[in-house]
Structure 1
Amino acid sequence: MPEKTLKKDILAINQMNSVDAISNQVTNGKNAMPAFGGRLTDEDITNVANYVLNQAEQGW
C-alpha cells in the first residue's frame, strides 16, 4: 500500500511508532500482512520491531 510506508512520520500517523505496536502487528498480522506469531520467537519479533524503528529514524 503506497500510503503505508516505513518512514517515521507515516509510522506515527498509522500508530506504528512503538515496539509494542509493531510487535503486535508482526505477531497477529493485519489485512494483507500475515501473522508471524507462530513462526518467530518473541525475541525475534522484538528485534524486527526495533529494526523497523531504527531504520525509520535513519530515513530508510
Structure 2
Amino acid sequence: MKHICVHGQPSRTTVVLTRNDFPPIPLRDMDWSAVTDDYEPGAPIGNGATELEAINDLLDQLEEDA
C-alpha cells in the first residue's frame, strides 16, 4: 500500500492510499484501487488500470460528492 498526498484547496489535503490488487483474471483494467486514509465502508473507491487512473477515479468521485 502506498500513501499519496493530494493538495486541493489551500486548507485541505487528501491522503490517498493505493494498492495494486492484480486480480487473477486476464483483464487488467481494474488492477489498482485507491481510497482516502479515513476510508469507511460505503465510501468511494477509485479503480483503474494504473495507479494514476485509480487516483483520478477516486478524486472524481469525491468531487461529485462534495
TM-score by length of 1: 0.36
TM-score by length of 2: 0.33
Select the structure with the greater relative contact order (CA < 8 A; seq sep ≥ 6): 1
Larger radius of gyration: 2
Higher strand proportion, which one?
A: 2
Higher helix proportion, which one?
A: 1
